[in-house]
Amino acid sequence: MNIYEAVKDTNSLVVLPTGLGKTIIAVLVLVDTLVSGKKVLFLAPTKPLCEQHASFIRRTTVLLDDDVAVVTGETSSPRKRDEIYKKAKVVVATPQTIENDLDTRLSLNEYGLIIFDEVHRTVGDYAYVRIIEKYRSVPDAQVLGLTASPGNDFDQVEEVVNTLGIRHIEVRNEWDNDVRPYMSHRSLQWYLIDMPAEITQVMQHIDSILQELLQDLAKYSRQATNLTPEKLSKKAIVEIQQRMQQNLRKRGGYLYHGLSVASAAMKLSHLKDMLTSQGVDAAKTYLTKLDGDTSRGAKRIQKHPLYQEIKEGIATIKNRQPKLSIAKTIIQNHLEENKDARIMVFAEYRDTVEMLLSPISLIEGVKAVHFIGQTTTATEKGMSQVEQKQTLDAFRMGTYNVLISTSIGEEGIDIPTTSLVLFYEPVPSAIRHIQRKGRTARDGYPGKVMILIMKGSRDEAYYWSSVKKEKKMYRYVYQLKDRLEGRTPLKRRRVRQSMIEDYAS
């Protein structure tokens, strides 16, 4: 109610932990708009999230079912969408669908409020950006942005605020006095796993090749001069590749050689991550892809004398999945404590999700299912939105009690009884770290978050990176809030920052 009173009459951004009522605030502001005689557009990134919001609105208001309509990419009939836009008082929609209809069948002039859920996506060329550009010309147009994680850096948070024309920010977290009494208890624990000597030996071979590649790459890019195999990141390689692409015309074709070196470094770095963070089976799967790769970068790796030793070393490793045994023990123990528990396991790659599904399904009492995105490749079939919804419904009902998910499960899933979230590996993004944690400890139910970290791998850097970025993210939000309110940071802001640091540590 405090937040609602503060945001109901102005363009606002609400930053609030997952499960603490962002949707309720949105519905209160939505009802105000309807009373004024205007319609409301409620945008969310996915169809399951749209249907979840629509169901909540129908359940908590006196609106008729036909007053609240869902429009997504599966609402393919133009005639059906025309009918919805004409009759519905509240349209809950995916932004891509609305963007496609802006110039044809949808006029934003009838809408007095647009709610942007997961508003941190309002950057770059995401559909939210074009929608707000169109909406700015509507008289008395109001926007409400909702997120648990507004951005990874100051520029991203500022871009969201500027793009939406935000004039007021309300931010809360676990330490705030008007939030703390309502927080479900959530514990966080991480497991440090010793890297087996066999994996360490293979990793050293990979680092030897990477060192040679980086020395070669430094001839073409100053950015590569200080890079080492230990500190190499995919982001750094991508930036080098982008700079080379921009300079191709100016500096001639010899940069093609540099690009192939950068490509080889990227592929080898990925193999290292697969081996050290995901396990031997994931590394073997990637080796198969690498052997079939005919690009110049791949051939550079294939011809290296150490490559055969790397393949043989991976093939003979006995401790194939050091993380898997820990994950199975955690899941088994949790179900023994609570046989009705719901568990979400997050993994970065589809190959890892599929690798985990079979052994976790063999645990007594486990009914596991995978949850992945829609994209279908030559070797992998994605899940349709219908399949995703059916899977989530079955998980809520208890047909399945372990959901093994890629990043598709990080945003917006509302399953109050999820009592354990297991990170198979850390993520370097503050947004994704917060979103993953937010899948548990909801609606009064306690929850646990457990993170598996392989010593000596990228896991350690990713974990501490996400913690550091989370602290910075809240600092950026408070800075922007102070700027909008026309004041310099006050002492209480500095005190609050110390509380953020205590919380994150």
Do 157 and 9 fall into the same domain? yes
187 DSSP β-pair partners: 448
Do 329 and 310 fall into the same domain? no
Strands (E), 28-174: 39-43, 68-71, 90-93, 111-117, 142-147, 168-171
425 part of a folded domain:
yes
Strands 90-93 and 142-147: unpaired
The structure's pTM equals 0.85
Do 117 and 251 fall into the same domain? no
482 part of a folded domain:
no
Do 73 and 166 fall into the same domain? yes
Span 203-225, pLDDT tens digits = 999 999 999 999 999 999 988 89
Question: Is the pLDDT confidence value at 192 over 90?
Answer: yes
Comparing CA positions, the residue from 410, 389, 407, 393 lying closest to residue 74 is 389
DSSP state of 382: -
Measured CA to CA, the distance from residue 448 to residue 39 in angstroms comes to 40
Phi, psi of 345 (to 5 degrees): -115, 125
The pLDDT assigned to 503 comes to 43
DSSP calls for 408-447: GGSSS---TTEEEEEESS--S-HHHHHHHHTTSS-TT--E
143 DSSP β-pair partners: 114
Question: Is the pLDDT confidence value at 493 over 60?
Answer: no
Q: Which residues touch 22 (CB under 8 Å, ≥6 apart)? A: 14, 16, 117, 146, 147, 148
Domain that holds residue 105: 2-179
User: Which CATH number characterizes residue 23's domain?
Assistant: 3.40.50.300
Phi, psi of 275 (to 5 degrees): -70, -45
14 part of a folded domain:
yes
Measured CA to CA, the distance from residue 504 to residue 192 in angstroms comes to 18
Span 72-89, pLDDT tens digits = 988 878 889 999 999 999
The pLDDT assigned to 488 comes to 57
Paired tokens of 304? 């290296």
Measured CA to CA, the distance from residue 28 to residue 348 in angstroms comes to 36
- Select the highest-mean-pLDDT range: 177-191, 268-282, 410-424: 268-282
Do 335 and 435 fall into the same domain? yes
What is the largest distance, in Å, between two alpha-carbon atoms of the chain?
A: 73
The pLDDT assigned to 175 comes to 78
Q: What percent of the chain has pLDDT over 90?
A: 70
68, 31 in Cβ contact below 8 A? no
| Mean pLDDT of the region 44-55 | 91
Do 135 and 238 fall into the same domain? no
Question: Is the pLDDT confidence value at 502 over 50?
Answer: no
484 part of a folded domain:
no
Span 352-411, pLDDT tens digits = 999 999 999 999 999 999 999 888 876 678 998 789 889 988 999 999 999 999 998 887
Q: Which residues touch 448 (CB under 8 Å, ≥6 apart)? A: 186, 187, 188, 189, 334, 419, 420, 421, 440
93 DSSP β-pair partners: 43, 71
145, 166 in Cβ contact below 8 A? yes
115 DSSP β-pair partners: 42, 144
Paired tokens of 432? 């994704």
In single-letter form, the type of residue at position 153 comes to: D
Strands 402-405 and 168-171: unpaired
Paired tokens of 149? 């994680």
Do 343 and 297 fall into the same domain? no
Domain count of the fold of the chain:
3
Do 172 and 305 fall into the same domain? no
Do 16 and 155 fall into the same domain? yes
SS (H, E, C) 444-494: CCCEEEEEEEECCCHHHHHHHHHHHHHHHHHHHHHHHHHHHCCCCCCHHHH
Sign of CA dihedral 501, 228, 347, 342: negative
Do 12 and 141 fall into the same domain? yes
Residue with tokens 């890019």: 221
| Mean pLDDT of the region 311-320 | 92
Output the average pLDDT for the chain: 90
The pLDDT assigned to 500 comes to 46
469 part of a folded domain:
no
Do 342 and 443 fall into the same domain? yes
Element at 336 (helix H, strand E):
helix 322-337
Paired tokens of 289? 């892809």
300 part of a folded domain:
yes
Comparing CA positions, the residue from 453, 480, 503, 474 lying closest to residue 152 is 474
| Mean pLDDT of the region 134-161 | 93
Strands 186-193 and 402-405: unpaired
Paired tokens of 486? 């026309």
Give the number of other Cβ atoms within 10 Å of residue 484's Cβ: 15
491 part of a folded domain:
no
Paired tokens of 256? 């093609």
Question: Is the pLDDT confidence value at 308 over 90?
Answer: yes
User: Which CATH number characterizes residue 210's domain?
Assistant: 1.20.1320.20
Boundary (domain end) residue, out of 293, 315, 337: 315
Do 223 and 159 fall into the same domain? no
251 part of a folded domain:
yes
DSSP state of 303: T
423 DSSP β-pair partners: 346, 451
The pLDDT assigned to 23 comes to 94
The pLDDT assigned to 252 comes to 65
Measured CA to CA, the distance from residue 152 to residue 470 in angstroms comes to 8
